[in-house]
Amino acid sequence: MSGDTYFAVIEFSNPVHAEALLTYSNWSRAGSPHFQDQTPLMSKKEMRPVWRTRQEIEANLESRKVF
């Protein structure tokens, strides 16, 4: 199998609402906790929220590095 499939749905409302799905998860990194995290969503025909605001992003950080 080759190629990437990425779905995104954006509702241009106020505030903007967006959902997305990477159908194959993160298969490139076998040890990653995201190796197959989006696959169950695909099988249920669901999407994940897109974190757009700083507050949403910071609330969902797994790690932070300051350079």
Provide φ and ψ at 29, rounded to 5°. Answer: -130, 90
Q: What is the pLDDT of residue 5?
A: 82
Q: How many residues belong to the chain?
A: 67
Query: How much is the pTM?
Result: 0.72
How far apart are the C-alpha atoms of 23 and 2, rounded to whole Å?
12
pLDDT (average), residues 19-36: 77
pLDDT at 2 over 70: no
Give pLDDT tens digits for 29-67. Answer: 777 777 788 888 888 999 999 999 999 999 999 888 999
CA–CA dist 42, 52 (Å, integer): 22
CB burial readout 45-63, b (16+ within 10 A) else e: eebeeeeeeeeeeeeeeee
Residue 20 has pLDDT above 90, yes or no: yes
**pLDDT score recorded for residue 61:** 92
9 forms beta bridges with: 19
